[in-house]
Amino acid sequence: MILKVKTQAKTELIDITSKIGQLVQQSGIDKGICMLYVPHTTAAVTINESADPSVKSDILMILNQVVPWEANYRHMEGNSPAHVKSTLVGASELVAIENRSLVLGAWQGIFFCEFDGPRTRKVHVRILEGNFKE
CA distance 89 to 111: 11
Q: Does 43 reside within a domain?
A: yes
Closest CA to 112 of 37, 58, 62, 29: 37
Residue 125 pLDDT > 90: yes
Residue 67 domain flag: yes
For 56, left (φ over 0), alpha (ψ -120 to 50), or beta? alpha
Residue 134 lies in a domain: no
The pLDDT of 43-72, averaged and rounded, is 93
Q: Which residues contact 55 (CB under 8 A, 6 or more apart)?
A: 48, 49
pLDDT of residue 132: 67
Q: What is the pLDDT of residue 64?
A: 94
pLDDT digits (tens, 9 = 90+) for 96-114: 999 999 999 999 999 999 9
Residue 120 or residue 130, greater confidence: 120
Count the domains in the chain.
Answer: 1
Neighbours of 60 (CB within 10 A): 19
Question: Is residue 31 included in any domain, yes or no?
Answer: yes
Grouping H, G, I as helix, E, B as strand and the rest as coil, residue 36 is: strand
Domain membership flag for residue 107: yes
Domain that holds residue 93: 2-129
pLDDT digits (tens, 9 = 90+) for 70-81: 788 888 787 899
Q: Looking at residue 70, which CATH number applies to its domain? A: 2.60.120.460
The Cβ of residue 96 has, within 10 Å, a number of other Cβ atoms equal to 14
- Asked if residue 58 belongs to a domain, the reply is yes
